[in-house]
Structure 1
């Protein structure tokens, strides 16, 4: 896997995705290799390596990202009755681009 799948593949258009919600600065889409029955990823379009590298200048973007995550989570909750919102750090973070998973159900594998 590339160091930044989201910039290199998704945002570049090399890997097509099924969009759930998109703004000027944020994209939420169905995971390309889902680990859960419902598995949506939300990413900022600006490269930010992780939650820990956010800068004060990123605050407006973070609010927009959280707003998209909230809307997607509301959709999943309404349809399935629950969901989880997750982010990974360090060795758990495969792609070094800030991203959140909105998931429902038990792991598929």
Structure 2
């Protein structure tokens, strides 16, 4: 397997996911191995290696989904975090954001 979990596993259907929200270019789903009680991943459907590589149009669509999902998490739990990683902190070399709430599991 390569270092792109999303292209290799999620978009191919090899790893089934529970969708939260989907647009033409973006998918939000419940993390397959959550680190927090609420842990949602938002990822572009096309391969983009990191936030340093994303174009502005896709970034706007990504943040529209992030905003909607984070607002729902905030409404349900009273708090939400939004984070992304770069370099060695990025396990899968495909841009993705985590929206989470609660104490780390």
TM-score by length of 1: 0.93
Matched, 1:39 2:39: yes
Who is 1:19 aligned against?
19
Who is 2:70 aligned against?
73
Gaps of 5+ in 2: none
Q: Deviations over 1:4-58 (max 9, x none)?
A: 000100011110000000001000000000000000000000100001122xxx2
1:91 to 69, 79, 88: 88
**CA offset at residue 80 of structure 1?**
0.2
Measured on the aligned residues, the alpha-carbon RMSD in Å equals 0.9
Structure-1 separation of matches of 2:2 and 2:28: 20
1:61 to 58, 63, 86: 58
In the comparison of the two structures, how many residue pairs are matched?
A: 105
Partner-residue secondary structure (3-state), 1:50: coil
Gaps of 5+ in 1: none
Query: Higher helix proportion, which one?
Result: 1
**Segments ≥4 residues shifted beyond 6 Å:** none
